[in-house]
Structure 1
C-alpha cells in the first residue's frame, strides 16, 4: 500500500499569521508536504472567523514570496462567477510556476447569499444567478477547466520568420450553457505547466460532486473523499487513504501546525520534495484537451514581416 502524503489546512486567522511572519513563511516553504489549503474554513462548513484574507490574494503573495510551497486556493460560485475564478486560477499558476491549484466548495462561509431565487452569483447584480448547490459548484469547476484550456499554451509560437506570435485560430470559445452561460475564451493563456489541479470538498456523501463525461475533479478532500481532513490534536485514520489534510483550529497557531506536521513526516507520512508543480507532486496526469473541433475565437493569422 502506498504511504499517504501529508497536506495542511489553514483557516482565516492562519492566513493572516503566515503572511505576516517571514520566519513562519520560510519554515512553511521548506516543509515537504504535498500542498496547503488556503482558507479551508471557507468551504468546510465552519463558522467564519473574526479575521481572514481572500484565499487568492494569499496565493498571489505566496507565489511571489516563496519558491517551493504548493497550495490550493478555495473558492465557490457563491461570490464569484466562474470566469473570474478561472482568471485567478490561471494567473496564480503563471505566478507560481504551477505550484497552485483550486479547491471548489458549494458555499463560502464568508460570503453573503444573493437573492432568494438565485443565491449563487446573483448577489453581485450582474447576472441572473443560480441555485446554491453542488450542481452549480460542479458546473463552475467544469467552466474553470474549459476556460483555462481555451487558449493553449503551445499556441504561443513567437515565430520571427513569419511574424506570427500566436496561432490565434487555436484560441477557442468554450460555449458553456448550464448553470452559467459562457462563450469564452479566457483572456489569459494556459499556464506553461498545463491546466491547474481542480479539487473538491466533500464533508459527507451528499456533498460529493456529480459525475459527467468531462469530469474536471481530480482530488476530493473531506470525510467523503480520498483525502480526509484531520483536526490538529487528533490521530490520523488508519490505512486505505491517499493522503491527509492536517487542519489547525482557529485557536491554534501556524507554528503548532508546522510542529505536528514535522513530527508526522518523521513518523510514517511520505515526504514530497518541495518545489515543482502541484500536478507532478500528486502524480496526476494532464487533463484531456477540449473536445475538437471547438469554435475558433479568431481567424488564422497571416504571415507578416513587421518583426
Structure 2
C-alpha cells in the first residue's frame, strides 16, 4: 500500500512538473514550494524502482520507471551542461549574493570579488548597514560604480560595477514587493550591457505569489538586440514554470549551461533540503566559460559566479 500511494504521489508530481502546473493560479501557492524539491523527488523515484522489484509489483514498477524517466528529462540536463554559442566579444565576470537582511560578512563579499575578479556584483537584502559595511571593507575601491536601492529588511538591492553605470527605469517596489535596480554598463571600447539586480518575492503567501508572478511578467526578454544579464535571488528553481518561461525569452542559466545547475544555493534550516534559488541569466547569445557557487558567511544563501563572453 505504501509503495502504491508513494508511486501515485510521485506520478502526480512529475505530471505537475512537466506540464507547468504551477502556472495555474489556484495551484501556484501549493505547487511552487513542492516543485522546488523536484530533484529530491527524482532521486526518491529510483528508490521505489528497487522497492517494486523486491516486492514484485510489476504494475508499480512500470509506472515508477515511467515517472523516473519523466523526472530525468527535467533534472538530468542540469548536471550535464551543454555547448553554448561561440561568442567572441568582451569577457564579463558576474557575481550575485543574498546578504540575509544585510547581515552577511562584508569582508567575505569583498574577498569573493577579489578572488573571482568580478566586474559586476548584484547584492540582495541590501540595507543601509550593509551599504556602509561594504564601503568600509573596500568594495568601492574594486567596483567604484553602483546603482543602489538600500531598504530595511529584505527589500533592498544594489548593483556594483567595475565600469560606469547609468541607472535605468525599473519597477515600483509596490508592484513586485522588492527593489530591482536596472542599469546600463558601458564597457571599455563602447559596448553596453543592461543589468538587472533581481530579487523576487517569496511565493509563500497570496500576496507573495502575486508579486512573484508579476515580476516574471515584467522582466524583459533578451530578444531585442540589447545584451541583458539578470543576476540575483529569483526565489525560483528551474522546476518552476515562470522561470523556464523567462529562459524561453532568450536567456540561458549560467550554472545550467556548465553542468552545475543542481548545485544548491539556499538552505532555510538544517532539516530542510537545500535548493537552487539564485541564478545568473545571460543573453543566450553569450558564451558561459565558467560558473561557481561559493559559501557566504552569515547568510542562508551561497554566492553564484559566472564568467561570460559577450556576443
* Fold similarity call, TM over 0.5: no
Point out which structure has higher relative CO (alpha carbons under 8 A, 6+ apart).
1
Instruction: Provide TM-score, normalisation by structure 2.
Output: 0.33
Structure with more of its chain in helix, by fraction: 2
Structure with more of its chain in strand, by fraction: 2
Instruction: Provide TM-score, normalisation by structure 1.
Output: 0.34
